[in-house]
Structure 1
Amino acid sequence: MTDRIRLSRRSLLALTTAAATGAVLAGCGDEGGQSGSGKKIRWWHIANTDPMMSAWAQMARQFEASHPGVTFEITPLENEAFKTKLTTVVQAGDPPDIFHTWGGGVLAQQAEAGMVKDLTADVGAWRDTLIPTALDAYTVSGKVYGSAVDTGMVGFWYNKELFERAGVKAPPATWAEYLEAVRRLKAAQITPIALAGKEKWPGHYYWAYLAMRVAGLDALRQAGADKNFDAPDFVTAGAHLADLVALQPFQTGYLAAGYSTADGQAATMGNGKAAMELMGQWAPVVERDNSAGKKGLGDKLGFFAFPAVDGGKGKITDAFGGGGGFAVGKDAPPEAVEFLKFIAQPENARIEAKTAGVLPVVKAAGDAVTDPNLKLVGDTLSASTGFQLYLDQAYAPAVGQQVNDSVAELLAGKSSPQQVAQAITAAAKQG
């Protein structure tokens, strides 16, 4: 949904309706990481709406109470505003003391530039309390540069009632079946898919998943290392997406639609005006919050994994997604790292799971997941055979942006599958 985060690109926190993006203070203090007998911790996160914005602030106050002299300056930012502002301060050599990260290529660049602390030894104190893959996205060359908070995956959310009306009796398991489901929905005069074309990151999910299904996870990772996405399998992935675009499956005006705007992707889905959206685990909550009366689809909503592609090298059990975590700026006081340990305590992880509707990475907090939709995603993720981080986070920023831009052009009918692969390769080689 952007780097996805994408929401995320892509936790729920990144993708809720935008609110004020100014600084909100959870404590007071002078400028600088240390002043007099006190220490100020500048904390930037993307929970820019309640209830989680207030929940994070409350945790900061609790930490302040047990650490005399420590105060927090908290800046909640909308996802895109966060990325823009963070890039500016990192380039200036002044990163926040604690800031949101999706890991991957962006965090790797920050680590290489010496802008973030190596947390390997520190996180080791609570690593065993996390699920096994929790820190994978935050590990660069064997060193850990971030502590995970939540995780999740992207899949198709669908309206069971609309599927039934169109005669689609079961979620499609193959890409051919998926295209046939789209045809049936259109024949029943039902908009098959809601898409936020304006924001680009939701569209990249389609190309990424098709690349995974056609070429396989290893090929995607090797392409990143070799800086070459021009292989036939990646062109084929684009061709499969072009086949979908040719069916005109998206809602009217999708190219100008946002994700969580009044008439955007989430609202279109939540109001029952489209049968499907390809989105992360946060989708049911955002659909609900952007629907009329904030009711959402309730028990009409279902979930299924991205279909397999006949003859492809990838497995339908390979998952695509990511989560959210926090990195620590190079000049942060030791208490910043202590705070990461504090929010990783099961009781605090449960607060985030219950309040934000996310899948926690703290094993003991799994009992806080009671929402049936979230549990379904968790069950699917736990049975996965492989995992790929959002491409606009997994690769260097310029490459991730090019993926988003090129796929958006394909979705708009302005670029070919071959041109998409060539443009991504060119961006990788320039980097």
Structure 2
Amino acid sequence: MSLNRRNMVLLAAAALVLAGCGGQGGTSGTASGTASAAKVTVEWWNISTTEPLKSFWAQKVKEYQAAHPNVTIKNVPIENEAFKAKLSTVAQSGKTPDLYSTWGGGVLKQQIDAGLVKDLSSEAATWIADFTPAALQAYQFDRKTYAIPTDIGMVGFWYNKSLFTKAGISEPPATWTAFLEDVTKLKNAGVTPIALAGKEKWPGHYYWAYLAMRVAGLDALKQAAIDDDFTKPDFVAAGTHLKELVDLQPFQKGFLGAGYSTPDGQAATMGNGKAAMELMGQWAPVVEKDSGKGLGKDLGFFGFPAVDGGKGSTGDVFGGGGGYAVGVNAPPAAVDFLKYISQKDVHRAAVETGALLPVLKGEEEAVKDPNLAVVAQTLAGATGFQLYLDQAYPPAVGQEVNDSVAALIAGAKTPDQVAKAITETAKSE
């Protein structure tokens, strides 16, 4: 699930072997289960290997099969790392699952271009309208929909209320200038301002990406992906603002060698009360508790602040989620089962387990955790949505973003060098 989102991102490289491969042929049959007794099997690869979703989806499979006696849903939950490897191996043999997990963006686009993914625009037209625009965005290309979302989330600052109070900070900062001032206040109070998993690189890219959104705006990020040009002044400025933060030395001791979910990593540092903030996705509270003690009522959440003079809106959010794509040769029952698990009552029940955030309109009140409720409400009212850059862009470009931003944080690259390195990689793709 979400705590291993970064492991999911690594699927990008493995999934590249999909290009040029043919799809797996499925047995033909009726999706309705009423017009024909012909037997059909739908192979469903998902990453719901842990509770509560593992049992939840298993129960929904039973319910669907009871209503569709001619259909067998072969439910195949696979751990993230194993999922990557298995998908890569099967793809190399010219096959794809009938229904499988995807995170959209550049990787899904490459699969679409290779003719491996079913266009769901027509068959799902009547129920796509129930989804929030932000949830659908990562799976839509050229006004067509190629996957259906099941989860969505956003990155923001998780903070320790007690440590903020200790430093004399009465409310979360609304601007980047105020944020930097609060970092200084925390340091002066003897508090480590920010926990960061420098070893894993991907958490650091959140800072540059959000600053690029706030300084340049969403349209500029989209245009850069088309022009393969990240050297424009606003992107360099994003790096300059990040360097302002780095120069304050805000991260925990040894952060460059720290992992994310390890016992001495970012989440544990935050969860054990040894840092005041972390910039992380909606899964952060769970990982903080699993890796450390967790903060309970001391944990709060606030969105990424505005940058003075920036072109971007604070209503624009940065994040990602998960969805399901259908293999191009999958039987019709694959789409019907996807429709079933996407209908409002089923998905709402999934949200109520606490494992997913809403992707359907009007589900926000189903989120019971107060901090996650803030995330859900923010997403529901978002003015724009930017997918993680290491998913939105082709895999090599996304990796360069991670690598170059990590180098900037480590003091090995300048903001201008970061922009040039990303551009060079983009142009070589």
TM tier, smaller:
0.7 to 0.9
Asked if the contact 2:218–2:384 (Cα under 8 Å) also holds between the matched residues in 1, the reply is yes
Deviations 1:250-309 (A, max 9, x none): 2223223222233322222122111111112222222223333xxx21221111111111
Asked if the contact 2:134–2:382 (Cα under 8 Å) also holds between the matched residues in 1, the reply is no
Name the CA distance, whole Å, in 2 between partners of 1:279 and 1:7: 15
Name the CA distance, whole Å, in 2 between partners of 1:183 and 1:174: 14
User: Alignment partner of 2:122: what SS?
Assistant: helix
Deviations 1:229-250 (A, max 9, x none): 1112111111111221222212
Match of residue 16 from structure 2: none
Match of residue 21 from structure 1: none
Flag the 1:84–1:403 CA change in 2: closer, same or farther, 3 A. farther
Deviations 1:100-127 (A, max 9, x none): 1121111111111111111111221312
Match of residue 45 from structure 1: 46
Match of residue 116 from structure 1: 117
Q: Which amino acid aligns with 1:135?
A: L
Match of residue 64 from structure 1: 65
Matches within 5 A, 1:290-369: 290-292=291-293, 296-369=294-367
Shift of 1:91: 4.8
Name the CA distance, whole Å, in 2 between partners of 1:258 and 1:337: 39
Flag the 1:3–1:386 CA change in 2: closer, same or farther, 3 A. farther
CA RMSD of the aligned region, Å?
A: 2.6
Shift of 1:226: 0.4
Flag structure 2 segments of 5+ consecutive residues without an equivalent: 12-23, 30-37
Asked if the contact 2:3–2:287 (Cα under 8 Å) also holds between the matched residues in 1, the reply is no
Name the CA distance, whole Å, in 1 between partners of 2:314 and 2:368: 26
User: Alignment partner of 1:363: what SS?
Assistant: coil
Flag structure 1 segments of 5+ consecutive residues without an equivalent: 15-30
Asked if the contact 1:103–1:137 (Cα under 8 Å) also holds between the matched residues in 2, the reply is yes
User: Alignment partner of 2:135: what SS?
Assistant: coil
Asked if the contact 1:38–1:70 (Cα under 8 Å) also holds between the matched residues in 2, the reply is yes
Match of residue 395 from structure 2: 397
Moved more, 261-270 or 202-211: 261-270
Match of residue 376 from structure 2: 378
Asked if the contact 1:93–1:115 (Cα under 8 Å) also holds between the matched residues in 2, the reply is no
Matches within 5 A, 1:225-236: 225-236=226-237
Match of residue 20 from structure 2: none
Asked if the contact 2:25–2:329 (Cα under 8 Å) also holds between the matched residues in 1, the reply is no
Shift of 1:72: 3.5
Question: How many residue pairs end up in the alignment?
Answer: 409
Asked if the contact 2:3–2:284 (Cα under 8 Å) also holds between the matched residues in 1, the reply is no
Deviations 1:213-238 (A, max 9, x none): 11111111110010111112111111
Flag the 1:35–1:108 CA change in 2: closer, same or farther, 3 A. closer
Match of residue 136 from structure 1: 137
Q: Which amino acid aligns with 1:125?
A: T
Asked if the contact 2:134–2:385 (Cα under 8 Å) also holds between the matched residues in 1, the reply is no
Asked if the contact 1:149–1:361 (Cα under 8 Å) also holds between the matched residues in 2, the reply is yes
Q: Which amino acid aligns with 2:182?
A: A
User: Alignment partner of 2:60: what SS?
Assistant: helix
Asked if the contact 1:2–1:201 (Cα under 8 Å) also holds between the matched residues in 2, the reply is no
Match of residue 410 from structure 1: 408
Shift of 1:312: 1.5
Match of residue 427 from structure 1: 425
Match of residue 167 from structure 1: 168
User: Alignment partner of 1:122: what SS?
Assistant: coil
Asked if the contact 2:28–2:331 (Cα under 8 Å) also holds between the matched residues in 1, the reply is no
Flag the 1:352–1:265 CA change in 2: closer, same or farther, 3 A. farther
Q: Which amino acid aligns with 2:373?
A: K
Shift of 1:340: 0.8
Match of residue 259 from structure 1: 260
TM-score of the pair, normalised by structure 2: 0.88
Match of residue 242 from structure 1: 243
Name the CA distance, whole Å, in 2 between partners of 1:368 and 1:94: 38
Q: Which amino acid aligns with 1:407?
A: V
Name the CA distance, whole Å, in 1 between partners of 2:89 and 2:424: 25
Match of residue 209 from structure 1: 210
User: Alignment partner of 2:170: what SS?
Assistant: coil
Asked if the contact 1:3–1:390 (Cα under 8 Å) also holds between the matched residues in 2, the reply is no
Name the CA distance, whole Å, in 1 between partners of 2:137 and 2:124: 13
Shift of 1:32: 7.6
Asked if the contact 1:3–1:201 (Cα under 8 Å) also holds between the matched residues in 2, the reply is no
Asked if the contact 1:211–1:237 (Cα under 8 Å) also holds between the matched residues in 2, the reply is yes
Match of residue 127 from structure 1: 128
Name the CA distance, whole Å, in 2 between partners of 1:77 and 1:408: 30
1:155 aligns with 2:153: no
TM-score of the pair, normalised by structure 1: 0.87
* Overall identity of the aligned pairs, in %: 61
Shift of 1:51: 1.8
User: Alignment partner of 1:323: what SS?
Assistant: strand
Asked if the contact 1:5–1:392 (Cα under 8 Å) also holds between the matched residues in 2, the reply is no
